[in-house]
Amino acid sequence: MRISTTGKAIVRHSETGELFEIEPDEIDWEVVASQERDMGPDRLWGASTSRDELGDLRWEMSEYPEGFLGEPVADLNGHKLEQNFSVSIEHESDFDDQDFDEDDFDREAATEELKEWFYANYEDPANSLPHISAEGGYQWIYGGPETPQGALGDNFSGEYPEDFIDKVAQEIIDERGLWDWSPIPGPEFYDDDDDDDSDILEGQRFEDDADKLSRLLPLAEELIQDQETGTFRVRFKEVVKPGLLAATLSQLTDAIEDVLENQSNGLNANSLEIRKLRRTIERYANDPQRVEMDLTTVHHSLTVQIGSGELPPSDENNALLLALQEGAQGIRATDTEVSENRKILQEQSLRELSSEGLAQLADAAPILETLTEGDLQEQMREDVLFLTQEMRAGPPQLPGVTRADAIIPGRDEAVRVFGRSARILIVLRNTPDLVEKIHASAGFKALNILAVLGSLVSLGLMLF
C-alpha cells in the first residue's frame, strides 16, 4: 500500500503574493503517528518539502479506518494555499495472473505458510515494547507498526493473489484481535536476560537523529555525567563580561519595578512574564545563555501582547521592552557562542505540541528527573511544567504584529528540553554501565530509559 499524490499544490507567498507550484513528486508520505481504536489503526500521515523562497512546507492527513483518507491539511509557514494536492491509496502487487496455476494451488498449505511466516517475524507490541503514553503510547523501537496486510503483501505479493493474502491477513487479525504489530527483534536488539540491556544501549538506532537534533538546538553549556551515579548536571559557560551582565540585570530589575508600580500597565507580580524574569535574575544570573533566552522570550511575548492591544504601549512597558532588547543584544555582542546559537535557533520554525506530544512529554518527566541533578534537574522540571501545563493555561497567541516580532510560546523551553535530551542520549550510548547504575537505583529499566530519550528525540525532530 502507498499514498498516491496527484495534481499540484499552489502556494501564494504571504508577502510578495507570488505563486509557487509544488509538484507531487516533491513530497513523500510516511506514517508519523498511529494508535489503535475500535475500528483498527488511526494513522497520521505526514509529508514535507522546502523551498528557499517559502521555507519549510508540510502536509498532514489522517487515515481512519484503514483505507479511508482525510483531506490533506497544509502547514505552509504563514503562506496561503490556493490549490491542494489530491491523494488516494494504491495497493501494489507484483503478482502475475498468467504465472499462477489455480489447479496446483493448495489454499490450506499456503495459508499455513503465510501464518507461520508472519508469527515468526511479528508479535504483539505488548510483548517487548515500552509503553509510555497513556493513550496507546507504544514506542516502536524495532520498526513498525506493521499490519498483517502490509507485511504479507510485501513478502508474498509476487507469489499469491492479493485477495488471498488479504483473506489470510484478516484471519490473523481475527485470531489475535490486533491490527498493529511489532517486528520481532533479532539478537542484535534483544537479549532474553532482563539484566543485560547493553546490546540495545550500544546500538546506533538513534544516533543520527540525536546528533541532528543536538546540532539544531545548540546551547552554550556543558553536560557533565557523574561517574558514580550516571546522572547529569549542567556546567554553565563562563560569563565573558560579568560587570556588563550585572548592569544589565540591575537595569532590568529597575524596569520591572517601574512597570509594577502602576496597575494600568497591565502586568502584576503573578504575570507569567514577570515571574520568568524574576526567576532569571534570582537563579540564573551566572548563566548568560539562559539569561539571553529568557530575555528574548519575554521580549517577544510582551511585543505580541502590546501589538494586539492586550497590554498598553505605556512608557513603563516600552522601557521594559527596551531593557529586555538591550540586555539580550548586549549578551550576544559580547558572547560569540550565544550569538551564534541564537542565529541557528532563529532559522527553526517550531510546530505546536500536539495533545499526544504533550502526553508523551509528561510521561517522560520522571525519567528526565531521574537522569538529572542540581540546576539541570530544576530547569528540566520547570521547562516540562511550562510546556505541558503553564503554557496551555495562558492566553492564546494573538495576531496583530509582524512575523518577525511574533513568537510561538515555548520555543526556548522546548529547545532546552529536547536539545538536552538529545545530548544526554548521545552520552548514554557510550556509557551503558552507568545506565545500568541508574536502572538499579531508580527502578527504570535501561531499555525504557533509552526508548524514552529516543522518543523525545523523534518528537523534537517533528517539532523543529
Tell me whether residue 227 is in a domain: yes
Model-level pTM? Answer: 0.56
Tell me whether residue 339 is in a domain: no
Please tell me the predicted confidence (pLDDT) of residue 315: 94
- Which pLDDT tens digit goes with each residue over 398-446? 333 333 333 455 789 999 999 999 999 888 877 777 777 776 665 566 5
Q: Provide the residue count of the chain.
A: 464
- Which pLDDT tens digit goes with each residue over 198-225? 444 444 444 568 888 888 899 989 999 9
Count up the domains in the chain and report the number. Answer: 4
Same domain, yes or no: 233 and 377: yes
- Which pLDDT tens digit goes with each residue over 321-374? 999 988 888 888 888 888 888 888 877 767 777 788 888 898 889 889 989 999
Same domain, yes or no: 387 and 433: yes
Tell me whether residue 277 is in a domain: yes
Same domain, yes or no: 362 and 446: yes
- Which pLDDT tens digit goes with each residue over 17-44? 999 999 988 998 888 777 776 667 778 8
CB 312 within 8 A of CB 302: no
Q: Is the pLDDT of residue 56 over 80?
A: yes
User: Is residue 178 helix, strand or coil?
Assistant: coil
Same domain, yes or no: 366 and 453: yes
pLDDT > 90 fraction of the chain, expressed in percent and rounded = 23
Same domain, yes or no: 323 and 304: yes
Structure confidence at residue 120 as a pLDDT band (50, 70, 90):
confident
Per-residue b or e along 95-105, where b marks 16 or more CB atoms closer than 10 Å to that residue's CB: beeeeeeeeee
Q: Is the pLDDT of residue 260 over 90?
A: yes
Same domain, yes or no: 361 and 430: yes
Same domain, yes or no: 462 and 380: yes
Q: How far is CA 255 from each of CA 70, 319, 455, rounded to the nearest angstrom? A: 51, 7, 41
Q: Which domain holds residue 292?
A: 241-334
CA distance 162 to 174: 18
Please tell me the predicted confidence (pLDDT) of residue 193: 45
Please tell me the predicted confidence (pLDDT) of residue 128: 67
Last residue of a domain, one of 290, 310, 334: 334
Phi and psi for 196 in degrees, rounded to 5? -130, 100
Q: Tell me the average pLDDT of the chain.
A: 80
- Which pLDDT tens digit goes with each residue over 451-460? 888 888 888 8
Last residue of a domain, one of 44, 62, 90: 90
Give the H or E element holding residue 32. strand 30-37
- Which pLDDT tens digit goes with each residue over 140-180? 767 778 888 888 888 887 778 878 888 888 888 888 777 78
Same domain, yes or no: 144 and 164: yes
Same domain, yes or no: 213 and 356: yes
Please tell me the predicted confidence (pLDDT) of residue 393: 47
Structure confidence at residue 68 as a pLDDT band (50, 70, 90):
confident
HSE at residue 160, side-chain half, CA atoms within 13 A, is 23
User: Is residue 63 helix, strand or coil?
Assistant: strand
Last residue of a domain, one of 278, 300, 334: 334
Looking up cell 498532514 gives 60
Tell me whether residue 79 is in a domain: yes
Q: Is the pLDDT of residue 395 over 50?
A: no
